[in-house]
């Protein structure tokens, strides 16, 4: 049973380019969460998605950032017109459901490390 | 004052030693997470516990909800246990918005 898969593991972009990060949750998990970890800091929640639905995007910057989790395929975190401050590790997590509700257990991917030059 | 505090911040020990990392929190929570992160690596969820004690291999986590305190213990520590250990508490009963401790950097010397 594969864990949470994220790709790419490392991504380098120049200022102004777009970054796309992908996350495939664990098999059977339909809830996906994205977090950002700035250097020497803890994880900050960004967005919570279910298939075809954004549940909570309160942690997402209002501009340049978007996320989706289509019916088919991985969840995608998209950062447009990247700036140096976007350089961070972006982690995805998924959680299982029990009776339709998340159990609260979080299974993390290896993260995608974005470097903006 | 941070709502989740860990101690110590750094811990260096010899292989085989018994390790204890502490976490205190000021928020009311339903469960607490312990996670492990290797340098430049991913995050592994070690435990989610709401009461008592959980054990997985050489790792033991305990929590006292009344005292708002949790501990992570490692028995027979090994160099591969070297990592940052983080405790995190749910923010306002959320399952996914977590208040993270600063982490404890553990180094186990052979």
Tokens of A40: 């020497």
Nearest CA in chain B to A108: B43
A56 interaction partners in chain B (CB closer than 8 Å)? 96-97
Alpha-carbon distance values, A102 to A39, B33, B83, B91 (Å)? 29, 15, 28, 15
Could you write out the DSSP letters of every residue in B46-76? EEEESSEEEEETTEEEEEETTTTEEEEEESS
Are A116 and A15 within 8 A, CB to CB? yes
CA–CA dist B79, B8 (Å, integer) = 18
Instruction: State whether the Cα torsion A58-A60-B46-A98 is positive or negative.
Output: positive
Nearest CA in chain A to B105: A40
CA–CA dist B74, B61 (Å, integer) = 9
Query: How many residues would you count in chain B?
Result: 110
End-to-end CA distance of chain A: 36
The answer to whether residue B65 neighbours chain A at the CB level (below 8 Å) is no
Tokens of B52: 């008592």
Subunit contact A108:B97, Cβ cutoff 8 A: no
Lowest-confidence segment of A35-44, A93-102, B16-25, B80-89 by average pLDDT: A93-102
Q: Using one digit for the tens of pLDDT, what is the confidence trace for A60-112? A: 999 999 999 999 999 999 999 999 999 999 999 998 876 666 677 888 999 99
Q: Which of A43, A105, A110 sits opposite B100 (nearest CB)?
A: A43
Residue B1 has pLDDT above 60, yes or no: no
Q: Which pLDDT does position A100 carry in this prediction?
A: 67
3-state secondary structure of B69: strand
**B63-84: average pLDDT:** 94
The three-point CA angle B52-B57-B61 to 5° equals 25
Q: Which of A33, A42, A106 sits opposite B45 (nearest CB)?
A: A106
Find where tokens 């994205």 sit.
Answer: A34
The answer to whether residue B39 neighbours chain A at the CB level (below 8 Å) is no
């Amino acid at each position: 049973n594969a864990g949470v898969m994220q790709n790419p593991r490392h991504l380098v972009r120049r200022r102004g380019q777009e970054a796309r990060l992908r996350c495939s949750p664990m098999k059977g998990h339909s809830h996906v969460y994205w977090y950002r970890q700035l250097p020497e800091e803890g994880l900050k929640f960004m967005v919570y998605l279910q298939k075809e639905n954004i549940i909570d995007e309160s942690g997402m910057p209002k501009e340049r950032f978007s996320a989706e989790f289509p019916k088919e395929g991985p969840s995608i975190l998209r950062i447009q017109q990247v700036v140096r401050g976007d350089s961070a590790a972006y982690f995805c997590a998924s959680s299982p459901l029990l009776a339709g509700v998340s159990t609260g257990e979080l299974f993390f991917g290896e993260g995608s490390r974005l470097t903006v030059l | 004052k941070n709502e989740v505090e860990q101690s110590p911040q750094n811990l260096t020990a010899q292989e085989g030693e018994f390790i204890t990392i502490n976490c205190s929190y000021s928020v009311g929570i339903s469960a607490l997470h312990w996670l492990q992160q290797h340098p430049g690596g991913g995050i592994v969820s070690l435990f989610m516990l709401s009461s008592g004690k959980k054990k997985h291999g050489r790792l033991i986590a305990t929590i006292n909800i009344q005292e708002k305190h949790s501990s992570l213990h490692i028995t027979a520590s090994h160099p591969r246990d070297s990592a940052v250990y983080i405790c995190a508490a749910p923010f306002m009963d959320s399952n996914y918005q977590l208040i993270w401790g600063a982490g404890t950097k553990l180094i186990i010397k052979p």
